[in-house]
Amino acid sequence: NIHLVWFRHDLRMTDNRALTAACEDESAIVIGLFVHTPIQSKLHHQSPGGGYFMAQHVKALWSALDAKGIPLITIDSTDFGASVDEVINLINKLSVTSIYFNKQYEINEQLRDKQLIKRLNERLNRINVNTYDDSVLIKPGRVLTLNGEMFRVYTPFRNAFLKELTDQDIHVDTAPKERRLDHPFALNQYQVNSLNVIEAMIDYYKTITPQSVIDAMPKIGEDEAIKRLRGFCENHLTEYGSKRDFPAYDGTSQLSAYLVYGILSPRQCVRRMMLNCPNVFEDKDSGAFCWLNELIWREFYRHLIVMFPFLVKHKPMIAWTDNVKWNNDAKQLEAWKNGQTGYPIVDAAMRQLNQTGWMHNRLRMIVASFLVKDLLIDWRLGEQYFMSKLIDGDFAANNGGWQWAASTGCDAAPYFRIFNPTTQSERFDENGEFIRRFVPELSELSNKAIHAPYEHGFSRSPHYPRPIVVHKEARKQTLAAYELAKNNS
Ligand code: FAD
């Protein structure tokens, strides 16, 4: 038997449902596969940093699999359509008997897999197709209301989710054992080329990724991801609830990129958390529960895109919000992207994104709210910009976050709750420590003046812009635009 494991955003050995299943039969030859589809990645606005992070993990996976006697074939393709042809071709050449892969939930990914399965079913030599819901704790569609529908609000979803979660859902599989079997001869030609493909992929992304993003990138490797998870659970979990909202402080796990590319599984996160805080499920006031809550937000957004596929087609959850007449001022959009809005907290956050490829969650909420509710710019433009810069860019979480901030999605609070960027700044970066780090032009200002320099007579530097909008007025304009859209629906 020849088992082919198609790796996607699940670039790890430990607790990989598809890999574990493929290795169950000890007499089967197991071959890994990774297909690079750069044109598709461009269409999905994958950031260069995300690509570089991914490519290096493909190499790490190649080595880890190789050490266990499992070859990893890497193919350079263009887009998903072409990748299906390549995979069928490979299956024919190697006489594969079973294919294993972990599901992806975005629409093009689902279409690719449907197409593959259809083509495989049309063949004379049928092969077994085995798919897994590996990137989530609970398969989308299992957590439903009493009427059998998907929740549209988070808290009841979370409560139902916790009731539904079983021990099996958080069982962590160990990495496969070493296997030394003769490989089919036809494999040689692919094997020779695989490392070249990986090196070329790494070089390509490296040349397009800013050096500052490379310098700030989380360390490469499954062991590094596990080390970070352990360190976070041992040292920061208990204080997570009280520290997670302050961007100047390293209070969150920064595991997001590892989770997006599947260097870690959510099950590993929950298990490790339970080791450090065994009462996490009972103690709802604990820092650990607060962190678990974030992992369930991740699940919520993944379930949403499966249960409401229109979300993947750039549609809002609340239909009438599609009638909002956006301002979409190109200059203001550029100022936002470049961290030149005149609102220090917004600018510091956007510069953190541009320079490091990551942004703190509180700041993601602030800058998203600012783009949509202060500049009245379509949330989809912000969503796309985030994807093109974030190393942890993930369709479901990003779309969910943007729709939350724009009040077009699953936020329990109504559209008229609008963040005040200056108040947010005073509350979550009280001494301006974070602002000083990313907006050096303002580093000499007092703790009070730094949140709104021009309101405190700031005149020293010609380089820092005046606020591009007045929040109070912008707020009124936005409320009117939303009200009009609602009344016209
Ligand atoms: P921690 O606070 O340590 O949380 C642990 C993990 O839980 C994270 O790594 C992440 O996987 C998950 N998580 C935490 N918060 C959320 C959330 N609100 N929604 C979904 N999952 C969450 N997260 C992404 O992974 N990719 C994105 O593209 C993304 N875009 C966002 C856009 C906006 C506008 C907003 C408001 C949020 C976005 N998030 C996104 C969610 C969140 O900001 C990041 O997951 C978090 O900042 C990552 O840092 P961390 O690993 O230290 O998180």
Crossing angle of helices 187-208 and 48-67, in 10° steps, is 150
How far is 479 from 457, CA to CA, in rounded Å? 30
Residue type at 456 in one-letter notation: H
Q: Looking at the DSSP assignment, which residues form a beta bridge with residue 1?
A: none
Q: In 3-state terms, what secondary structure has residue 95?
A: coil
- Does the pLDDT value for residue 411 go beyond 90? no
How far is 488 from 82, CA to CA, in rounded Å? 44
- 449-472: average pLDDT: 90
The residue whose C-alpha atom lies closest to atom 4 belonging to ligand 1 is 294
Q: What is the CA radius of gyration of the chain?
A: 24
Determine the atom of ligand 1 nearest the C-alpha atom of 367: 34
Please tell me the predicted confidence (pLDDT) of residue 461: 66
pLDDT digits (tens, 9 = 90+) for 99-124: 999 999 999 999 999 999 999 999 87
Q: How many CA atoms lie within 13 A of 4 on its CB side?
A: 25
- 463-483: average pLDDT: 96
Please tell me the predicted confidence (pLDDT) of residue 189: 81
pLDDT digits (tens, 9 = 90+) for 373-395: 999 999 999 999 999 999 999 99
How far is 369 from 385, CA to CA, in rounded Å? 14
Please tell me the predicted confidence (pLDDT) of residue 415: 84
- 39-68: average pLDDT: 96
- Does the pLDDT value for residue 61 go beyond 90? yes
Best of 361, 367, 399, 424 for a ligand 1 pocket test (most atoms within 8 Å of beta carbon): 361
Q: Residues with catalytic annotation? A: 294, 297, 326, 361, 379, 402
Residue 462's pLDDT band, with cuts at 50, 70 and 90, is low
Determine the atom of ligand 1 nearest the C-alpha atom of 365: 36
pLDDT digits (tens, 9 = 90+) for 167-205: 999 999 999 999 988 888 888 888 889 999 999 999 999
Task: Please state the pTM of the whole predicted model.
Answer: 0.97
Average pLDDT of the chain is 96
Complex ipTM over 0.90? yes
Query: What is the distance in A from the centroid of ligand 1 to the CA of 156?
Result: 20
Structure tokens at 357: 């490829």
Structure tokens at 113: 């897999």
- Does the pLDDT value for residue 412 go beyond 80? no
Q: Are 300 and 157 in contact (CB under 8 A)?
A: yes
The residue whose C-alpha atom lies closest to atom 52 belonging to ligand 1 is 254
Question: What is the per-residue DSSP string for 449-462?
Answer: GGGSGGGGT--S-S
Q: Between the CA of residue 326 and those of 86, 307, 311, 402, 481, what are the distances in Å?
A: 43, 28, 19, 15, 8
Strands of the 29-36 sheet, one edge to the other: 72-76, 29-36, 2-7, 98-102, 128-132
Residue 275's pLDDT band, with cuts at 50, 70 and 90, is very high
- Does the pLDDT value for residue 74 go beyond 90? yes
How far is 104 from 116, CA to CA, in rounded Å? 14
Residue 489's pLDDT band, with cuts at 50, 70 and 90, is confident
- 265-277: average pLDDT: 97
Please tell me the predicted confidence (pLDDT) of residue 460: 65
Structure tokens at 153: 């609000």
How far is 122 from 131, CA to CA, in rounded Å? 18
The residue whose C-alpha atom lies closest to atom 3 belonging to ligand 1 is 253
Please tell me the predicted confidence (pLDDT) of residue 190: 84
How far is 53 from 30, CA to CA, in rounded Å? 25
Query: What is the distance in A from the centroid of ligand 1 to the CA of 241?
Result: 15
Alpha helix ranges (H) inside 325-445:
330-338, 344-356, 361-369, 379-389, 395-406, 421-428, 433-438
Q: Are 134 and 264 in contact (CB under 8 A)?
A: no
Q: In 3-state terms, what secondary structure has residue 129?
A: strand
Please tell me the predicted confidence (pLDDT) of residue 169: 98
User: Lowest mean pLDDT: which of 78-87, 268-277, 406-415?
Assistant: 406-415
Q: Are 235 and 291 in contact (CB under 8 A)?
A: no
Residues with CB under 6 A from ligand 1: 244, 252-256, 259-260, 294-295, 297-298, 301, 361, 364-365, 368, 386, 390, 392-394, 397-398, 400-402, 405
Residue 125's pLDDT band, with cuts at 50, 70 and 90, is confident
The residue whose C-alpha atom lies closest to atom 33 belonging to ligand 1 is 401
Question: What is the per-residue DSSP string for 265-327?
Answer: -HHHHHHHHHHH-TTTTT-TTSHHHHHHHHHHHHHHHHHHHHH-GGGGGT--SSGGGGG----
Q: Residue written as tokens 């707020």?
A: 475
The residue whose C-alpha atom lies closest to atom 37 belonging to ligand 1 is 401
Q: Between the CA of residue 410 and those of 30, 146, 301, 333, 406, what are the distances in Å?
A: 42, 19, 9, 25, 10
Determine the atom of ligand 1 nearest the C-alpha atom of 360: 47
Please tell me the predicted confidence (pLDDT) of residue 192: 81
What is the H or E stretch that residue 31 is in?
A: strand 29-36
- 142-149: average pLDDT: 97
Please tell me the predicted confidence (pLDDT) of residue 475: 96
Please tell me the predicted confidence (pLDDT) of residue 123: 85
- Does the pLDDT value for residue 217 go beyond 70? yes
Query: What is the distance in A from the centroid of ligand 1 to the CA of 256?
Result: 6
Query: What is the distance in A from the centroid of ligand 1 to the CA of 458?
Result: 35
